[in-house]
Amino acid sequence: MLITFDLDDTLICWQPAIPKEHITLPWYLWWFKYEPLRKGTIHTFTTLRAEGWKIGIYTTSNRSEHYIERLFKIHGLKLDLIVNQYHHEKIIKKHRIPDKPSKFPCSVGSYLHVDDSLGVQMEGEKHLFRVLVIDPLDQYWSEKILEEARKVAEIVRKNSYEVVAA
């Protein structure tokens, strides 16, 4: 089962009040200008993996897949899938979605998408994909994601939830 995450204001938060994951880059990566990941990302991803989830990023930013992969890799985190704006536009064209939602995570097999945007949640209601909205300032964000992921896993176990993967 795949869970997808938004990047901006969900996992990458620039607000000074939001704690960041600390890392020390090895000398051969000092050139790499990376953005900080929100504190709790490592715990959330590690727990989700241990519970059998695959993890993907679904962002409408233009960051390259290579950069995103590396950003998580330096924190020891592996991603199973990356959808950026470029990839998303191809998905929308392929599926010929009439009103062009800004995200369409069900098309890549995502059972749960995590985002800070209420607009994405509304799109999810319309296009039938599940969205958990997390406020960037919510200090219990990780627990909420894990709780929701367990709820979804339980629904899937009962065979009453399906996604249409492309």
Where on the chain is the footprint of Mg ion (CB under 5 A)?
A: 6, 8-9, 116
Residue 26 CB, nearest approach to Mg ion (Å) = 30
Whose Cβ is closer to Mg ion: residue 16's or residue 98's? 16
Residue 59 CB, nearest approach to Mg ion (Å) = 8
Whose Cβ is closer to Mg ion: residue 116's or residue 123's? 116
Whose Cβ is closer to Mg ion: residue 136's or residue 161's? 136
Residue 136 CB, nearest approach to Mg ion (Å) = 8
Whose Cβ is closer to Mg ion: residue 57's or residue 77's? 57
Using an 8 Å Cβ cutoff, are 44 and 145 in contact?
yes
Provide the residue count of the chain: 166
Whose Cβ is closer to Mg ion: residue 3's or residue 153's? 3
Residue 24 CB, nearest approach to Mg ion (Å) = 28
Task: Please give, one letter per residue, the 3-state secondary structure of the chain.
Answer: CEEEECCECCCECCCCCCCECCCCCCHHHCCCCCCCCECCHHHHHHHHHHCCCEEEEECCCCCCHHHHHHHHHCCCCCCCEEECHHHHHHHHHHHCCCCCCCCCHHHHCEEEEEECCHHHHHHHHHHCCCEEECCCCCCCHHHHHHHHHHHHHHHHHCCCCCCCCC
Phi, psi of 127 (to 5 degrees): -100, 10
Residue 142 CB, nearest approach to Mg ion (Å) = 17
